[in-house]
Amino acid sequence: MADELKGHLEDDLEAGSGRGRGEYSRDDEQGSGPFDIFRTKSAPVDRLRRWRQAALVLNASRRFRYTLDLKKEEERKQLIAKIRMHAQVIRAAVLFQAAGLGKKVQVTSKVPSSPTRIGDFGISAEEMVAISRNHDLSLLQRIGGVKGTAEKLKSNPEKGLSNDETDLVSRKKAFGSNTYPRKKGRSFWRFVWEACRDTTLIILMVAAAASLALGIKTEGIKEGWYDGGSIALAVLIVIVFTAISDYKQSLQFQNLNEEKQNIQMEVIRGGQRIKVSIFEMVVGDVVPLKIGDQVPADGLVITGHSLAIDESSMTGESKIAHKDPTRVPFLMSGCKVADGYGTMLVTSVGINTEWGLLMASISEDNGEETPLQVRLNGVATFIGIVGLSVAIVVLLVLLIRYFKGQTKDPDGRAEFTAGKTSVGDAINGFVKMFTVAVTIVVVAVPEGLPLAVTLTLAYSMRKMMADKALVRRLSACETMGSATTICSDKTGTLTLNQVFLISFVCFCFYFGWQTPDVVEAHGSNSYIFLIFVQMTVVEAHACGKKIDAPDNKSLFPPRVISLLIEGIAQNTTGSVFVPEGGGALEVSGSPTEKAILQWGVNLGMDFSAARSDSVIIRTFPFNSEKKRGGLALKLSDSEVHVHWKGAAEILLESCSSYIDANDCEIQMDEDKLSHFKKAIDHMAARSLRCVAITYRLFEVEKVPTSDEELENWQLPEGDLILLAIVGIKDPCRPEVRDAVQLCTNAGVKVRMVTGDNLQTAIAIALECGILGSNKDVSEPNIIEGKDFRNLTETQRLEMADKISVMGRSSPNDKLLLVQALRKRGHVVAVTGDGTNDAPALHEADIGLAMGIQGTEVAKESSYIIILDDNFASVVKVVRWGRSVYANIQKFIQFQLTVNVAALTINVVAAISSGNVPLNAVQLLWVNLIMDTLGALALATEAPTDHLMHMKPVGRREPLITNIMWRNLLIQALYQVTVLLVLNFRGRSILNLDHETNDRAFKLKNTLIFNAFVLCQIFNEFNARKPDEMNVWKGLTKNHLFMGIIALEVVLQVIIIFFLQKFASTVRLSLELWLVSIGIGFVSWPLAILGKLIPVPDKHFLEYFKKKSDQQRTPSGG
The model's confidence at residue 705, banded by pLDDT at 50, 70 and 90, is: confident
Q: Quick check: 511 and 537 in contact, CB under 8 A?
A: yes
- Out of 81-90, 312-321, 1057-1066, pick the least confident: 81-90
- Per-residue pLDDT tens over the stretch 608-627: 899 989 999 988 888 777 88
CA–CA distances in Å: residue 252 to residues 187, 455, 495, 765, 866: 14, 10, 33, 39, 19
- Quick count: other Cβ atoms within 10 Å of Cβ 526? 21
The continuous run of DSSP H or E covering 628 comes out as strand 628-635
**Cα radius of gyration rounded to whole Å, the chain:** 36
Q: Quick check: 450 and 380 in contact, CB under 8 A?
A: yes
- Using CA atoms, how far apart are residues 1109 and 960, in angstroms rounded to an integer? 22
- Is the pLDDT at 5 greater than 60? The verdict is no
Q: Quick check: 489 and 806 in contact, CB under 8 A?
A: no
- Out of 372-381, 558-567, 1070-1079, pick the least confident: 372-381
391: closest CA among 778, 56, 719? 56
Q: What is the pLDDT of residue 513?
A: 31
* Strands 586-588 and 485-488, sheet pairing: unpaired
Q: What is the pLDDT of residue 528?
A: 34
The model's confidence at residue 633, banded by pLDDT at 50, 70 and 90, is: very high
Identify which of 428-437, 699-708, 920-929 has the greatest average pLDDT. Answer: 699-708
Q: What is the pLDDT of residue 1102?
A: 66
Q: Quick check: 255 and 945 in contact, CB under 8 A?
A: no
Q: What is the DSSP annotation of 637-673?
A: TS-EEEEEEEEHHHHHHTEEEEE-TTS-EEE--HHHH
What separation, in Å, do the N-terminal and C-terminal C-alpha atoms of the chain show? 55
Q: What angle in degrees, to the nearest 10, is found between the helix axes of 758-768 and 736-745?
A: 80
Q: What is the pLDDT of residue 804?
A: 94
| Better-scored residue on pLDDT, 947 or 221 | 947
The model's confidence at residue 237, banded by pLDDT at 50, 70 and 90, is: confident
- Quick count: other Cβ atoms within 10 Å of Cβ 227? 24
Strands, E assignment, 320-372: 320-322, 330-331, 336-348
- Using CA atoms, how far apart are residues 130 and 144, in angstroms rounded to an integer? 16
- Is the pLDDT at 530 greater than 50? The verdict is no
Helix or strand or coil: residue 330?
strand
> The dihedral of CA 155, 156, 158, 161: what is its sign?
negative
Query: Taking residues 838-842, what's their average pLDDT?
Result: 86
The model's confidence at residue 810, banded by pLDDT at 50, 70 and 90, is: confident
The model's confidence at residue 367, banded by pLDDT at 50, 70 and 90, is: low
By CB atoms closer than 10 A (0-12, 13-18, 19+), residue 345 is buried
* Stated pTM of the model: 0.77
Query: Taking residues 996-1001, what's their average pLDDT?
Result: 85
Q: What is the pLDDT of residue 907?
A: 81
Q: Which of 489, 730, 756, 845 is catalytic?
A: 489
- Quick count: other Cβ atoms within 10 Å of Cβ 1069? 9
How much of the chain exceeds pLDDT 70, in percent? 80
- Out of 185-199, 445-459, 924-938, 975-989, pick the least confident: 445-459
- Using CA atoms, how far apart are residues 1085 and 1092, in angstroms rounded to an integer? 11
Q: Quick check: 350 and 180 in contact, CB under 8 A?
A: yes
CA–CA distances in Å: residue 14 to residues 4, 18, 465: 17, 8, 30
* Strands 336-348 and 298-310, sheet pairing: antiparallel
The number of CA neighbours under 13 Å toward the Cβ of 70 is 13
CA–CA distances in Å: residue 16 to residues 22, 70, 600, 664, 931: 12, 15, 47, 58, 35
Q: Let me know if 167 is a catalytic residue.
A: no
- Is the pLDDT at 2 greater than 80? The verdict is no
- Is the pLDDT at 493 greater than 60? The verdict is yes
- Is the pLDDT at 512 greater than 50? The verdict is no
Q: What is the pLDDT of residue 69?
A: 66
Strand partners, 510: 541
The number of CA neighbours under 13 Å toward the Cβ of 792 is 2
CA–CA distances in Å: residue 442 to residues 56, 383, 850, 860: 12, 11, 45, 41
Q: What is the pLDDT of residue 1113?
A: 47
- Per-residue pLDDT tens over the stretch 741-779: 999 999 999 999 988 888 888 988 998 999 988 888 888
Q: What is the pLDDT of residue 553?
A: 66
- Is the pLDDT at 1008 greater than 70? The verdict is yes
Check whether the bond before 780 is cis (ω within 30° of 0): yes
Distance of CA 508 to the CA centre of its chain: 50
| Better-scored residue on pLDDT, 975 or 402 | 975
- Per-residue pLDDT tens over the stretch 408-451: 776 677 777 777 777 777 887 887 788 777 777 777 777 667 76
Q: What is the pLDDT of residue 320?
A: 82
743: closest CA among 869, 866, 881, 887? 881
Distance of CA 895 to the CA centre of its chain: 29
- Quick count: other Cβ atoms within 10 Å of Cβ 93? 11
How much of the chain exceeds pLDDT 90, in percent? 22
Say which residues have a Cβ less than 8 Å from residue 393's Cβ, sequence separation at least 6: 907
Mean pLDDT, the chain, whole residue set: 79
- Is the pLDDT at 792 greater than 50? The verdict is yes
- Using CA atoms, how far apart are residues 854 and 867, in angstroms rounded to an integer? 10
Longest dimension (CA), the chain: 125
Query: Taking residues 179-192, what's their average pLDDT?
Result: 80
- Quick count: other Cβ atoms within 10 Å of Cβ 634? 17
- Per-residue pLDDT tens over the stretch 263-295: 888 899 988 889 898 899 999 999 999 888 889
Q: What is the pLDDT of residue 549?
A: 45
Q: Quick check: 754 and 762 in contact, CB under 8 A?
A: no
- Is the pLDDT at 4 greater than 50? The verdict is no
By CB atoms closer than 10 A (0-12, 13-18, 19+), residue 651 is buried
- Out of 111-120, 389-398, 469-478, 864-873, pick the least confident: 111-120
Q: What is the pLDDT of residue 221?
A: 75
Q: What angle in degrees, to the nearest 10, is found between the helix axes of 199-219 and 423-444?
A: 150
- Per-residue pLDDT tens over the stretch 124-170: 888 888 888 778 788 888 888 899 999 999 999 988 998 888 899 89
The continuous run of DSSP H or E covering 1062 comes out as helix 1060-1063
> The dihedral of CA 979, 985, 989, 992: what is its sign?
positive
Q: Quick check: 469 and 412 in contact, CB under 8 A?
A: no
- Using CA atoms, how far apart are residues 781 and 788, in angstroms rounded to an integer? 12
- Is the pLDDT at 25 greater than 60? The verdict is no
Say which residues have a Cβ less than 8 Å from residue 795's Cβ, sequence separation at least 6: none
Say which residues have a Cβ less than 8 Å from residue 529's Cβ, sequence separation at least 6: 503, 504, 509, 510, 511, 537, 540, 550
Helix or strand or coil: residue 1027?
coil
The number of CA neighbours under 13 Å toward the Cβ of 422 is 6
